Amino acid sequence: MSSSDSPRRSPAPSRRSVLSALAVVASGACGGLLTGAGTGYAAAPAAAGPKAQLRGVWIASVVNIDWPSAPGLPPERLRTDFLGQLDRAVARGLNAVFVQVRPTADAFWPSPYEPWSQWITGVQGQDPGWDPLAFMVGAAHERGLAFHAWFNPYRVSMQPDVTALVPDHPARTHPEWTVSYGGKLYYNPGVPAARRFAQQAMLDAVRRYDVDGVHFDDYFYPYPVSGRDFPDDDAFAAYGAGWDDRDAWRRNNVDLMVREMRDLVRAARPEACFGISPFGVWRNDSSDPAGSPTRAFQSYDGLHADTRGWVAKGWLDYIAPQLYWHIGLAVADYGALAPWWAAQTAGTDTLLWIGQAVYKVADPAQPAPWQDPAELSRHLDLNATLPQVSGDILFSAKDTWADRIGAVSRLRADHWQRPALVPLLPRLAGGAAPGRPGVRVRRGGSDGLDIGVRGGGGHGRDGARPAPFRYAVYRYDTAPGRDPVLDAAHLVAVVPAAVGRFEEPEGVRDAWYVVTAVDRVGREGVPSAAVRTRAPHSAE
């Protein structure tokens, strides 16, 4: 994130205790589930938005913005704190987390390529004695949350001195790959060996961990420093043959990183999505007739990132522009940029999610619109008029949990009371869906449904069906018949498959339920037979 380089700001439970706790609240906000009163959950409201909608949050690790909250914390504290991040996401109706696992050419897993991250232990290269990435992915999936691994491809260090890195750091053993600029150290995007190394370092995590997506943010070539060009004369002399325009050469270097990484991710993990959250302005229409009606910094020129081109060429599964401005801002109006991005993605297979600036809410340095708790909700009001927008990601976690002036609560009350499935990538829509669930009505002290899949897990006779990741629970006032309507208006819960239990809310009597199994990427299987809970429970 262009704003993420500045800081903002008991024993871990066993897996069994986590799942027990989740079972109590399985009809709630996990993976877009619904929270409310009583046991924590209530009936869904009458209004229904999209049935599938990405609702995500960025969890930044660089300079200990969100998690870890400080370097060198004990492993049990780190695990407990991360579970807290996930449980807060669940409670706020989110269904995806974007976790920064390679912030500065380092790793939150035992990488054979790069050192352990200093943001875990406080000392670069120091083994924390456990595998944070394995833990994080598993904990997210137990809660029905998609886990997107967030990588920074080029940034090496928050300081400029290569000799300050651990002695065996690849950037130190290959100083010709690096460049110091603006007080930081980077891999030079114009050096092919550096690009290939960074790709393999990131791909190691993709191959070894069950991540749902690979995510880049807005850092490509660094944000320009006034009066100083990026010092890549040597790289241009060595690798710029055939290029008269250095800016075009730089854009091609970034294009290669994006296109090649897309191909590598799909080869290693075909159903993982690959997406980018760029700076929100590609070009202004004063520079390019295809640009947006803005007068702001341009990623195409300043960062050498042709974000619009990546969409047009089909290199991304989604794009999540950081539209970190209020509605009505003269130089970069959210009200103009969201429709512009919708137009760029229209007719493509690239999904459009919007990055939202929760960190600006109630910041006294920000203008009046950010002092209004309704500003973020107004952004989603506009998004609802744009069919191409299929989700939002909030920056960042600590600001989202702080909920200053109730802005996040307002957003949720206005837009996210109902549960939502994750959007299905168009390229994956034709794959096999999970099998038909079996549903049993549970009565007594904990009324609700027990859910499972008939016939041995999620597999069909040919063994090709994917296992369920979530269950979608639909409620009807009358018998839904043999062909129930599986729409957003009837969807009342999305239950993690690890839980397999739906708690019927207080006040609901004599309802019919149908359940479908949904796989990791959002493919929904055929519905179960309808089951009925009868009223009043207390009289039975």
Q: What is the pLDDT of residue 452?
A: 80
Could you tell me the pTM of the whole model? 0.91
Q: Can you say how many angstroms the Cα of residue 347 is from the centroid of all Cα atoms in its chain?
A: 23
- CA pair distance 528, 449, nearest whole angstrom: 12
- CA pair distance 198, 209, nearest whole angstrom: 17
Please name every residue paired with 102 in a beta bridge, in sequence order, or none if there are none.
Answer: 151
Amino acid making up residue 429: A
Q: Are 485 and 512 in contact (CB under 8 A)?
A: no
For every residue of 79-101, which 3-state class applies, written as one string? HHHHHHHHHHHHHCCCCEEEEEE
> Of the given ranges (41-45, 151-155, 212-216), which has the lowest mean pLDDT?
41-45
Q: Are 35 and 28 in contact (CB under 8 A)?
A: yes
Q: What is the pLDDT of residue 464?
A: 79
Assign 216 a pLDDT band (cuts: 50, 70, 90).
very high
- The encoded tokens of residue 308 equal 């619009």
- CA pair distance 162, 31, nearest whole angstrom: 42
Q: If you average pLDDT over residues 397-418, what whole number do you get?
A: 97
Interval 106-142: pLDDT, tens: 999 999 999 999 999 999 999 999 999 999 999 999 9
- CA pair distance 253, 243, nearest whole angstrom: 12
Q: Strand order of the sheet with strand 470-476?
A: 491-496, 470-476, 511-518, 531-533
Amino acid making up residue 400: T
- CA pair distance 371, 462, nearest whole angstrom: 57
Interval 76-97: pLDDT, tens: 999 999 999 999 999 999 999 9
Consecutive H or E run containing 198: helix 192-208
Q: What is the pLDDT of residue 540?
A: 38
**More confident call, 443 vs 274:** 274
- CA pair distance 513, 532, nearest whole angstrom: 6
Assign 509 a pLDDT band (cuts: 50, 70, 90).
confident
- The encoded tokens of residue 157 equal 């260090």
Interval 418-468: pLDDT, tens: 999 999 999 999 999 999 999 999 877 667 899 986 533 444 444 579 999
Q: What is the pLDDT of residue 48?
A: 74
Interval 307-321: pLDDT, tens: 999 999 999 999 999
Assign 65 a pLDDT band (cuts: 50, 70, 90).
very high
Which residues in 347-404 belong to E strands, given as ranges?
351-357, 389-395
- CA pair distance 45, 277, nearest whole angstrom: 32
Q: If you average pLDDT over residues 160-164, what whole number do you get?
A: 97
Q: If you average pLDDT over residues 248-252, what whole number do you get?
A: 98
Q: What is the pLDDT of residue 538?
A: 42
Smallest Cα–Cα separation from 308: which of 294, 328, 288, 325? 288
